[in-house]
Structures are given as structure tokens and as C-alpha cells.
A and B are shown apart, each in its own frame.
Chain A
Amino acid sequence: MSQISITLLRLGFLVLLWALVLAAIGVLRSDLYGTRVITRGRGRNARKPPGTRAEKVAAPSRSATGVRTGAISTLEPTAAHLAVTAGPLKGTTIPLGSAPVLVGRAPTCTLVIEDDYCSSRHCRIYLDGDRWLVEDLGSTNGTFLGNRRVDDPVPLNPGEKIRIGATSLELRN
């Protein structure tokens, strides 16, 4: 082989190496930009009259509306995901299908909460027809919907706050 083809192969190897790196980064782009951050600015608050409910909790449920890309078309229209609004897992969202969501300290739960006030199988949030129900599974410290302690299955509407120890959850559409 001539010197020039050797040089070309040598540089070609570096090009190929970078092609792989850049292609990998290209694949990651969707993941890097895979979240949409919506700032709760003044404009948003000014438009909505305050005071219907606690501002802190109500605002995210409004701002998250319409963000879903529609990839999960089988979802029930009532609620799209379960969001953690307070506690150590604050900011976590779980996309909801038709499967029930088990909340507790046991590692096998869908949402694992590390909290001394949380039982290993604490409560269950499941779909009944077209509405979501929350049911306490005999937890020691209770599941609270608003200020009421939940025993038997209670309907859960989007925006209503479930409290388990230091963690708060709510349904969002």
C-alpha cells in the first residue's frame, strides 16, 4: 500500500472513532433533552387566580398538562401519572397504565419510599372502571387523603394530595 493510503487509513480510524462517539451522543440527545422543564414564572401565577388550593401543589399539576407526547395512547383520560410532590423522592413521576401502583417500603413496590413512617406495603392506587381509587393496606401510620385517613378504597381525583409519612403524592393528567 502506498504511503498516502496508509495515512488516509490512519486518519480514517480516528474519524471512525469520533463517528462512533458522536453517533452515541446523537442517540443520547433524545434522552438529554428527554425532559421538559417548565418554569413557574410570574406570568403563569398572574393569569391564574390564587387561592383555590395550596399554590405549591396546584401549580405543577396545571403546568404539566399537555406535556405528554401521546406515545402512550392507551392511557385512561382521567390521569396520566402519579407525581411525588414532597418528601425524599420529590419530583419523581410514575406514568400510569391500567396496572395498580403499590406504594411502600418493600423493594418490590412500584414506588419505594424510604421513610420510617411508611409500612412495607403501605397503600395501593388502582384503576376501577375509569376512576382511580386509593386503598390503605393496613399501614401502621396511615394514608391520608387531604386530612382524612383512608381505610376502604376512596376515589382519588387529580390534584388531591395523598400523604404517607413525609411524602405527598398526587394524580396529574
Chain B
Amino acid sequence: MATVSELRVHGGRRAELVLLGLAICLAILARALVDYHADYLVLSRLGVFAVGALALAGAAHLVVRIYAPSADPVLLPAVFALNGVGLAILRRIDYAYAARGRETDFGGTQTVWTVVGVALFVAVLLLLRDHRMLRRFTYTAGIVGIIAYMLPVVPGLGVEINGAQIWISLFGRSMQPGEFAKIALVVFFAGYLVSNRDTLALAGPKVLGMRFPRPRDMGPLLVVTLSALVIMVAQTDLGAALLFFGLFVGLLYVATERISWVVLGLGMFAVAVVAASTIFSHVAARYDAWLNALDPEVYSSGRSEQLVRGLFGMASGGLFGTGLGEGRPDLVPFAESDFIIASLGEELGLTGVMAILTLYLIIVQRAMRTAIGVRDGFGKLMASGLGFAIAIQVFIVVGGVTRVIPLTGLTTPFLAYGGSSMIANWIVIALIMRISDQARRPAMETP
């Protein structure tokens, strides 16, 4: 037994400002390097970008300073750094495609989405003064989340792009409702588990030293597994299903401290995956491409071509990378979205990718630390849920690209091209910052 007592933690706004400065320098340098290698370095344009980036970071910092003064100091710089590097690599990919005669504007579009994302970050901090208010919308959020996940299957609304039915078309623009559904589901899971965790944690028989839940309490887990399966089968979207399921099992574990839920969850998922891979051919093809990626037959049939090209790209990057603007990221299909990590691995090398993964680790660690610090159960579950969402997403997509797990399409938060993902992840960061403000604020300031 030991006692744990907390020392005072400073608000850290000054540290945040210094780190933000570093992050913006990083973004500007990245862009300058990319432009230079494309022979497109115009100082006035770079200046506009620099001023814009500084203004954006400054605005976000000021809002945090005023409306969430005790919030975590490293989240915002880490996100700005990721976002800045992401914009630079997208611009790099634009140049690479342009050299091959394909006109794209990923960098420009993504810059607009970044501005929208920061605006929504600010809006969430301004409008949501207390995260506990979200608990009132527990079941609303659950229904909204499920509906949003199902929307792309609705005929007429859903659009199939690149073989996955996860987009809907609204006002001529396609968007991925699943990215927003993830936030709604975290709110739902947190609200549901905080009221029901006692039945899930305490009742049930003990087998092999683990307390298993009673069969009648397993309803929610079954419902969630079935929905995940439906999503997986109907939308051909393994990634979202994994995220959805991992989120629930993770939160169930945090809420109940029962390892048996994780065992049950993983067991059910394993059964579901095996069943899916025997019944559906496209799932089986994914496994084949993963296990036998370097088999000449599988490669030449095109099934593992993208994956292997990504691996070759990362291999040519080596330890320190070819340098921004000096690689050939355009050789990998979808270098701008699913395979953004392969592009980064090629141009920044293992060293750069490690730094980027560490930035994600820092973000997730801050979410978990927030969950430990905050004093209400709902906030704890919500912060850990949002942390899990980012962690699982990064694991699935980076694991897929580096051939640790079968490849599934998911967006890399803040890096990959995509407006929905960018906006949704900025909202996630705003929510974590709001909870962390609550967690780190000295109790005497609350009435």
C-alpha cells in the first residue's frame, strides 16, 4: 500500500506558447523545404503561410488562455506540429503528382480544412464550458452515433468511393460521418457505463480467477459487436469496425477494471473475424495480402501492390529519410490518405516517423492523464475514450501500412487528407482540453 499525493501543477500557458512557436517553425521549415525542392519557393507566399500559421496558433492559444486556462499545455503544440507536417507532405504529394501530369490540390484544400478545424476547436471551447453537461445527451448521442455510422448505407445518400461505402454526399461535397460518429459514441459509452458499471463489474461467477459477467448483462456488448459486424460487412470498412469495437471494450475495461471483459471482447472479435474471413471473399483477400504480401503472385495480381510499394518507399527512406521533397511518394497509390505514413517514412526516415508516433503517444498520454486527474466518472471515461479513439486509429492505420496487422482504411489523425477527419479530430482535442482544464484547475476556484 502506498499513498499518492499530488504536487501543484502549473497552468503551463507560457510553456504552451514556447512549444507552439517551435511547432509553427517546424511547419514553416517543412513547407519551405518542400517548395524549394519543387523549385517553387516564393518568399512572399511562404511569408503569407507563416503569418497565417502564426495567427491561427496565436488565436487558438489566446482562446485557451482565456477560456480553459488550466488546460494541458502540450496538446495544442503537438497537434499543430502534426498538422503542419501533414500540410507540408500533402503539398509535397501535390508536386509529385503534378510532375506526372495529375492536377491535385490536397495541400490547399487541407489548409482550408485546418482553418475550419481550428475554428471548431475554438467554438467547442467557447460553447462547452463544462464537459459534464454532455452527460445529459447520453442516449441522444448513442442514437446519433449509430445513425451516422449507418448513413452511408442509405441508398441515394451514401457514395461508394474506392470500394468503401463510408462517404455520404451532401451539397455536392462528400463527407465521412463515421469520423463524427466516433465522438458521439464516446459520449454515449461514457454516459452509459458510468451509470451501469456496478452491475457490469460486480455481479457474476468467478472462473480461473477472473470474474465473468452474468449472461444477462452481456446484452450491450452483444449489440455493439453485432453493429460492428454489420458496419464491417455492409460498408466493407474493417477499420471503422475495429475502432468502434476497440473503443467499447477499452472503455468497458476502464469502467469496470475487469480483465474478463477484454478477454470476452477479444474472443468475440476473433470469432467474428474468422467467420467474416471465411464467408466474405474481400476480407479473406485482405488476409492473404497481409500474410503473403511479398509473394510475387499476390503482388502481381495487385492485391498487395499498394502495401509493398509503401514498404519499399519506407525502406528507401532508411534511418534519416530522403529529405522532404526528395523522395518518390507518388509511387504508392493513395499516398495522400491511407499511406501518408509511408510517404513520411520515405522522406523523413525512421527518425522522423518515430518523432511523429511519439507526438501521438504524447497526445494519448495526456488524454489518459486527464482521465486520471478529473474528478467525475463521466469525465474520466470520456477522456480515456477520446484517448483510445486516437490511439486505436493510429495503431490500425500505422499497423496496417507497416504490415503489423492486415491493412484497413482509416485516416491518420491530423496528417491524412480529409476534411471530416481533420474537423472531427480538432473537436476531439477541444474536448480533451476542456476536460483537462477541469482536471487541472485547483478546486478552490470552483464555487
- When C-beta atoms are compared, the residue in chain A nearest to B37 turns out to be A6
* Cβ-defined partner of B352 (8 Å) among A17, A37, A97: A17
Q: Does A133 belong to the interface (CB within 8 Å)?
A: no
Query: From residue 59 to 85 of chain A, which have CB atoms closer than 8 A to chain B?
Result: 59-60, 63-64, 67-69, 71-72, 74
Q: Does B345 belong to the interface (CB within 8 Å)?
A: no
Taken residue by residue from 310 to 323, chain B's Cβ proximity to chain A (1 for < 8 Å, 0 otherwise) reads as: 00000000001101
Q: Does A28 belong to the interface (CB within 8 Å)?
A: yes
Q: Which residues of B contact A25 (CB under 8 A)?
A: 362
Q: Which residues of B contact A114 (CB under 8 A)?
A: 194-195, 197-198, 377
Q: Interface residue count for A (Cβ, 8 Å)?
A: 59
Given contacts A27-B12, A107-B376, A111-B375, contact A14 B444 (CB under 8 A): no
Least CB distance, A119 to chain B, in whole angstroms: 15
Given contacts A6-B323, A35-B5, contact A17 B443 (CB under 8 A): no
Query: From residue 75 to 119 of chain A, which have CB atoms closer than 8 A to chain B?
Result: 88-89, 91-99, 101, 107-108, 110-112, 114, 116
Contact B19 A18 (CB under 8 A): no
Q: Which residues of A contact B73 (CB under 8 A)?
A: 27
Q: Does B29 belong to the interface (CB within 8 Å)?
A: yes
Contact B15 A94 (CB under 8 A): no
Q: Does B10 belong to the interface (CB within 8 Å)?
A: yes
Q: Does B324 belong to the interface (CB within 8 Å)?
A: yes
Query: From residue 350 to 393 of chain B, which have CB atoms closer than 8 A to chain A?
Result: 351-352, 355-356, 358-359, 362, 365-366, 369, 375-378
Least CB distance, B72 to chain A, in whole angstroms: 8
Contact B362 A36 (CB under 8 A): no
* Cβ-defined partner of B29 (8 Å) among A6, A16, A116: A16
Q: Does A48 belong to the interface (CB within 8 Å)?
A: no
28 CB-based A-B contacts, threshold 8 Å:
A10-B323, A10-B326, A13-B30, A14-B320, A16-B22, A17-B348, A17-B352, A18-B355, A20-B23, A20-B77, A20-B359, A21-B358, A23-B18, A23-B19, A23-B22, A24-B19, A27-B19, A31-B369, A35-B6, A38-B3, A67-B5, A69-B8, A72-B8, A92-B375, A99-B446, A108-B132, A114-B194, A116-B198
Q: Which 7 A-B pairs have the closest CB atoms?
A: A97-B444, A10-B323, A71-B8, A107-B132, A112-B376, A17-B355, A60-B3
Query: From residue 7 to 44 of chain B, which have CB atoms closer than 8 A to chain A?
Result: 7-10, 12, 15, 18-19, 22-23, 25-26, 29-30, 33, 36
Least CB distance, B355 to chain A, in whole angstroms: 4
Q: Does B66 belong to the interface (CB within 8 Å)?
A: no
Contact B442 A19 (CB under 8 A): no
Least CB distance, A128 to chain B, in whole angstroms: 16
Q: Does A147 belong to the interface (CB within 8 Å)?
A: no
B3, B133, B323, B445: most-surrounded residue (chain A CB, <10 A): B3
A10, A89, A96: most-surrounded residue (chain B CB, <10 A): A10
Contact B444 A1 (CB under 8 A): no
Taken residue by residue from 160 to 193, chain B's Cβ proximity to chain A (1 for < 8 Å, 0 otherwise) reads as: 0000000000000000000000000000000000
Contact A20 B324 (CB under 8 A): no
* Cβ-defined partner of B25 (8 Å) among A16, A18, A67, A112: A16
The interface size bin for chain B is: 35 or more
Q: Does A34 belong to the interface (CB within 8 Å)?
A: yes
Q: Which residues of B contact A98 (CB under 8 A)?
A: 444
Contact B5 A20 (CB under 8 A): no
Q: Which residues of B contact A2 (CB under 8 A)?
A: none
Complex: A1 Cα to B326 Cα, angstroms: 15
Least CB distance, A133 to chain B, in whole angstroms: 17
Q: Does B223 belong to the interface (CB within 8 Å)?
A: no
Taken residue by residue from 264 to 279, chain B's Cβ proximity to chain A (1 for < 8 Å, 0 otherwise) reads as: 0000000000000000
* Cβ-defined partner of A64 (8 Å) among B5, B15, B26, B358: B5
Given contacts A14-B349, A96-B443, contact A34 B7 (CB under 8 A): yes
Complex: A44 Cα to B404 Cα, angstroms: 49
Least CB distance, A103 to chain B, in whole angstroms: 11
Contact A97 B10 (CB under 8 A): no
* Cβ-defined partner of B33 (8 Å) among A10, A72, A99, A107: A10
Least CB distance, B137 to chain A, in whole angstroms: 12
Contact A19 B22 (CB under 8 A): yes
Contact B77 A24 (CB under 8 A): yes
Q: Does A9 belong to the interface (CB within 8 Å)?
A: yes
Q: Does A40 belong to the interface (CB within 8 Å)?
A: yes
Complex: A107 Cα to B447 Cα, angstroms: 14
Contact B320 A11 (CB under 8 A): yes
Q: Does A39 belong to the interface (CB within 8 Å)?
A: yes
Q: Does B48 belong to the interface (CB within 8 Å)?
A: no
- Not counting A27-B73, A28-B362, A36-B4, a sample of 18 additional A-B residue pairs whose C-beta atoms are within 8 angstroms of each other reads A10-B320, A13-B30, A17-B352, A23-B18, A23-B22, A25-B362, A28-B74, A38-B2, A39-B1, A40-B1, A40-B2, A63-B3, A64-B3, A72-B442, A97-B443, A98-B444, A99-B447, A114-B197
Q: Does A30 belong to the interface (CB within 8 Å)?
A: yes
Q: Which residues of A contact B133 (CB under 8 A)?
A: 107
- When C-beta atoms are compared, the residue in chain B nearest to A71 turns out to be B8
Complex: A63 Cα to B4 Cα, angstroms: 10
Least CB distance, A78 to chain B, in whole angstroms: 15
Contact B444 A35 (CB under 8 A): no
Least CB distance, B101 to chain A, in whole angstroms: 26
